[in-house]
Amino acid sequence: MGLPMFHRLSQFSPLIWTVIGGTFLTRLTYFMVWPFMAILLKDQFDLSVFVIGLILSGAAFIGSSLSFVVGNLSDRFGRRVVMISGTLTSAFAFGSLAWAHQLPVYIVCILLVGAGYSLLEPPSKAMISDEISDPETRGLAFNLRYYFLNIGAAAGPLSGVYFGLTAQQSTFSLVMTTYVLYGFALAYFSRHQPRISDDQKAAAGLAKAWIVLKKDKAFQLLVIANTLIMTCYGQFEATLVQYLGLVRPGDAVGLYATLVMVNAATILIFQFPMLALLRNVQLHNRIYFSLALFALGFSAYAWLPQPLAIAWILATLIMSVGESVLFPTLNIQIDVMAPHHLRGSYFGANAISSFGFSLAPALGGLMLELLGHNAWWVTGALVLLAMALYYLAVKLLPARRQWVAELEAEVRAVERVAQR
């Protein structure tokens, strides 16, 4: 029988709580200002919508592009140094935005925000894997981190509006402060982490990590499937409001705001009940279940009775329950698949899937223009295609276990020699 949840929480080290708490605080203050960055750029420099989108997309592109290399650096030089570098980079970027008045400075700082994110995201997930040996407790940590990330993302914009901090440069100083505090906490609670030997660094070298990833066909299928999923999920973030403007022009903005709140509330309410309900269900079956809800929710936007607001809410509710299961489970799946000495590289490589999210607005707009409401049938079909790719990846898992075990045995032998 599994241990009670509260007993598992008591097994979290101060470092794990630091990662979870730091993620919450930095995301909370980040979302106080970042959703309103477009307004700030428009007010300060009178830029076109296209140019603003290009600048903000650049930050996402930088973050996705660097993630694999950053994850590998954390395998070779330790999570501590890379994550502290991430907090310092982010603090510098937001601190500079607090006083910047020139557009080139803004652009550089916004790109640095993307770089800082990549320095924190893959290593923080790998650090959870490193620190917790029990798989169920590790899964709980991933779920808790995702839960608090969502609280920060939901509460940040509302807090910013309530306290009048949106589209103001002074808010950047608050974001900078949280990253500085996170950096100090990381430095203190990770000070006893063991040093990585030269042999261990060599075993996790960038070229060797790349060779392993090229051989790991199951993981490649997982990344492709995740990219499709992020492309589909991005339709909710970017395309749905445009679609509502076409079919319900009178209340599109108000209804979309309601659907966003339904999405956030559903995740916060359902995530842990669903975790308890599916505790004994295998990871790949959890993924199939959540993707089925994704496909049903997205395709429902195509055929639901458009005048009924409750129909839109129910479709979003179904999709959101799937989201509450899917994204934490994917982190656990990557953790299970990654060789222990390449966890950072694997989490970093999977971050490539966020390119799908970046492509979503353009693809969604094109589908709406060409297909109208049928764009949502295509979105549902892409989710089912992702499910098929996951199925193929699962079929490859038994064969890959042998070579992963051999690879890890070789690395452990190197580690034992290094410890003598």
Q: List domains and CATH numbers for the chain.
A: 1-196 (1.20.1250.20), 198-419 (1.20.1250.20)
Model pLDDT for residues 337-368, shown as the tens digit of each residue: 999 889 999 999 998 898 888 888 888 888 88
Residue closest to 32 by CA, chosen among 183, 182, 144, 164: 164
Q: How far apart are CA 220 and CA 65, in angstroms?
A: 16
pTM of the model: 0.88
Q: How far apart are CA 24 and CA 38, in angstroms?
A: 23
Model pLDDT for residues 72-112, shown as the tens digit of each residue: 999 989 999 999 999 999 999 999 998 888 999 999 999 99
* Residues near 49 by beta carbon (within 8 Å), at least 6 away in sequence: 38
Residue closest to 271 by CA, chosen among 318, 331, 321, 316: 321
* Per-residue pLDDT of the chain in tens (420 residues, 90 and over written 9): 356 777 888 889 999 999 999 999 999 988 888 777 877 888 888 888 778 878 888 888 888 889 999 999 999 899 999 999 999 999 999 999 988 889 999 999 999 999 999 999 999 999 999 999 888 899 999 999 999 998 988 888 777 776 655 556 678 998 999 999 999 999 999 988 877 767 677 777 888 888 888 889 999 999 999 999 999 998 988 788 888 888 888 888 788 888 988 998 999 999 999 998 998 899 999 999 999 999 999 999 999 988 888 999 999 999 999 999 999 999 999 999 999 889 999 999 998 898 888 888 888 888 888 898 899 999 999 999 999 999 999 999 988 888 888 787 877 776 666 555
DSSP 273-286: HHHHHTTTS-HHHH
Residue with token string 């639901």: 304
